[in-house]
Structure 1
Amino acid sequence: MGTPTEPGIVATGMAFGERHDVPATAADYVPDPETVTALGYDAYHRAAPGVTATDLAARAAREALENADVTVADLDLIVVGNSDVPDYLGWDPSAAVARSLGAHGTPTVLFTQACAAWSPALDHAAGAMALSPGVDTVLVVLVNVVSEAHSNRMDFNGCVASDGAVAAVVRRGHPRLRRLSSAQFTNPEYADLFRIEYGGAAVPLPPPGRGLRDVSPMASVYRHFGRDPERFQAFMKEITGRLADVVDEALARAGRDRSELTRLIHLNDNQQTFRAVADAVGLPLARTNAELARSLGHMGAADQLVCLWRHIEAGELALGDLVALTGVASPGMHWFCTIVEV
């Protein structure tokens, strides 16, 4: 049963980059496009030149406010999750989004845990409501715009990265799309996996003759495991095994179990990973967001809420259904699960 502080999602808004076909453009990103098309993606979205993450985030936020019949003045808190390189250094995207919305004086918070930022962002909204009686309405905005100067959207982590944003108006005690619980696990042994070597404070510039993207994150992963196939396979099994663990932990915290799950919504990963995730959690592949992932691409921290709303719009989720939102953030490395009751 819900408590008075338990938040529910009133409405969402979305903003995507321009849609592009994966098979038609893979050769623009990699020398062997077959390796990309084998991942199972049909399309991805790419922000037009000059369109920033802040632009997409603000566009999604305005749509969410309109859909919820809420004004900026009604907001008690704005929480932003930005899963890629920010527009600028020494700069707070959450404040920039608030400025775009005209939310002067409204507190803002920023989460940057890569593609897992959605989960702590929702947790923070719930925690603010639990701790502060005056916090009743929170805007949660999640955005991903790939910095192609820093990484290759088709050759980074086994996904085809995509540009998009989703915003959700979350209200205390709202009876629909209630956030029931969450769980997470971090294995710090993998803190350096997938890191971008150049452009940060440790190594601001690449060596002469090299570019920001001249180090392959996947090559770094293989080196971490000593190019040992057995160690790498054990790592892949750990990814799905730990995911099943956080699902069970989050369900237990909500007083539920796997038998009650209607659907699992994972990050928009490749199709092979989706099959492994479905097997690990014990759900048919058809009860995941695998098909949506094909046409959307991996929108970083926006994946889970985008797909949740798409499944609702398609009539694939009904009142009372239990959904596990899951993700793995390769920088870290972190596993997350949030349980939502439709």
Structure 2
Amino acid sequence: MRHHGITLHGIGAVTGDLVTAVDAIRDGRYSLEQARRNRQDSVAVATGRTGPELAAQAARQAMHGSERDVDLHLHATIHDPGLDFWSPASFVAHQAGITPMMTLSINAMSNSMVAGLQLAAGVLQGHAGHSALLTAGDVFQPPLFDRWQTDAGIVYGDAGTAFLLHRDDTTPAIADVLSTASESHPSLEALHRGTTDWHSGHTHRPPIRLRTRKAQYLATHGGPTAIDSTNTTAVSNVLKTALYEADLELDDLARILCPHYGEALTHRHCLAPLGIPEERTTAFLGRWLGHMGASDQIADLHYLLTRGLLQPGEHIALLGIGVGMTWTAAILHIR
């Protein structure tokens, strides 16, 4: 989808304090073998905070100096927001001091912010409002979620992020949203379900064990190779489509911001499908911060912008991959 007149006007990111892999190994929560295989140096831990609180803090950053009334607010979380039967999206909007015409939760899991960008840009481009705020926030706390061991090849970090989109705004902007493209394969929802029993109505839930669920699914569905093949095709498809819509080539991109996986998964799911070296990505941030749910790409963009690592005129891509499975690519032109 080609976008016209959609601009990025604000961005915010809040991450937890860094806890090193060395500390986790010393405490018996991680192994030296895992640290070497994943090349995980540390992870962001926001002790005593919730995902919605981090998201609201990031939203206040993104809205700094902007109007408080936005037309659309979309909020994402991939894990426990801290309370059941409650609206995290409304909490974030209230705490950020905004009064949107509509505030909603979206759930494309780790792809929520990039897919949400496509959704919000499409809404604004259809002239249903002039501004949209997107937020995300997650913390991964034991005993429900062991950030170091729950998933294979991924360590999970805590963060909140936000960005503000405008339509047809002539004031100075951070970037132009040129294009987006998405693909989904809903049949792969079982990869993260496995043969796990439903917990509907239960007051107690056992710790989440994603590596077990994945192993259950892969044992009867062709192993990791089948997933890798589908992912390779989808990653290639969405980026090629987004680049075509933006009249760009892969070599025109200064950076490609990918999900924060361990080294092996980053290579299999991002670098190899695109045929790019790690140096063109922000994988180094993943090694510091861990996989922060839907926040990875936005936190990376915030880091690059606030440190002057992107130059006016450069193009970047955001690549989102979400449980379910969904894939989205977005092309931005830095102002």
TM-score range for the pair, normalised by the shorter chain length: 0.7 to 0.9
Corresponding position: 1:168 with 2:160: no
Stretches of structure 2 lacking an aligned partner (at least 5 in a row)? none
1:183 match? 181
Stretches of structure 1 lacking an aligned partner (at least 5 in a row)? none
Q: 1:114 to 1:279 in 2, by over 3 A?
A: same
1:22 match? 21
Please point out which of 304, 312, 327 is paired with 1:319: 312
Corresponding position: 1:337 with 2:329: yes
Question: What's the offset of the Cα at 1:117?
Answer: 0.6
CA–CA distance in structure 1, aligned partners of residues 246 and 28 of structure 2: 43
Residues 84 and 147, structure 1, Cα contact 8 Å, conserved in 2: no
Q: 1:317 to 1:119 in 2, by over 3 A?
A: same
1:156 match? 150
Q: 1:120 to 1:275 in 2, by over 3 A?
A: closer
2:66 match? 70
Letter in 2 for 1:233: T
Per-residue CA distance 1:305-333 (angstroms, 9 max, x = gap): 1111212333332222221111221x211
* CA RMSD in angstroms, aligned pairs only: 2.5
Residues 74 and 134, structure 2, Cα contact 8 Å, conserved in 1: yes
Q: 1:112 to 1:259 in 2, by over 3 A?
A: same
Q: Which moved more, 1:275-284 or 1:121-130?
A: 275-284
Letter in 1 for 2:98: A
Corresponding position: 1:137 with 2:136: no
Residues 199 and 205, structure 1, Cα contact 8 Å, conserved in 2: no
Corresponding position: 1:128 with 2:123: yes
Please point out which of 56, 59, 63 is paired with 1:58: 56
Please point out which of 231, 256, 261 is paired with 2:223: 231
Corresponding position: 1:246 with 2:244: no
1:119 match? 114
TM-score by length of 1: 0.86
CA–CA distance in structure 2, aligned partners of residues 105 and 11 of structure 1: 16
CA–CA distance in structure 1, aligned partners of residues 291 and 8 of structure 2: 22
2:258 match? 266
CA–CA distance in structure 2, aligned partners of residues 179 and 20 of structure 1: 35
Q: 1:155 to 1:77 in 2, by over 3 A?
A: same
Question: What's the offset of the Cα at 1:36?
Answer: 4.0
TM-score by length of 2: 0.87
CA–CA distance in structure 1, aligned partners of residues 124 and 234 of structure 2: 29
Residues 55 and 136, structure 2, Cα contact 8 Å, conserved in 1: yes
Counterpart secondary structure, 1:146 = coil
Please point out which of 84, 88, 93 is paired with 1:93: 88
Corresponding position: 1:194 with 2:188: no
Per-residue CA distance 1:261-320 (angstroms, 9 max, x = gap): 221110111122333422321222101111121112111111101111212333332222
Q: 1:190 to 1:289 in 2, by over 3 A?
A: same
CA–CA distance in structure 2, aligned partners of residues 244 and 145 of structure 1: 30
Letter in 2 for 1:192: A
- Number of matched residues? 327
CA–CA distance in structure 1, aligned partners of residues 141 and 60 of structure 2: 24
Q: 1:252 to 1:54 in 2, by over 3 A?
A: same
Residues 22 and 37, structure 1, Cα contact 8 Å, conserved in 2: no
Counterpart secondary structure, 1:191 = helix
Residues 191 and 218, structure 2, Cα contact 8 Å, conserved in 1: no
Letter in 2 for 1:140: L
Letter in 2 for 1:97: V
Letter in 1 for 2:260: N
Q: 1:105 to 1:130 in 2, by over 3 A?
A: closer
CA–CA distance in structure 2, aligned partners of residues 227 and 39 of structure 1: 26
Counterpart secondary structure, 1:103 = coil
Per-residue CA distance 1:226-279 (angstroms, 9 max, x = gap): 278x63233234323321221112222323332322211101111223334223
1:40 match? 39
Corresponding position: 1:310 with 2:329: no
Q: 1:179 to 1:156 in 2, by over 3 A?
A: farther
Counterpart secondary structure, 2:192 = coil
Counterpart secondary structure, 1:161 = coil
Q: 1:8 to 1:104 in 2, by over 3 A?
A: closer
2:98 match? 103
Letter in 1 for 2:265: T
Letter in 2 for 1:216: R
Counterpart secondary structure, 2:90 = helix
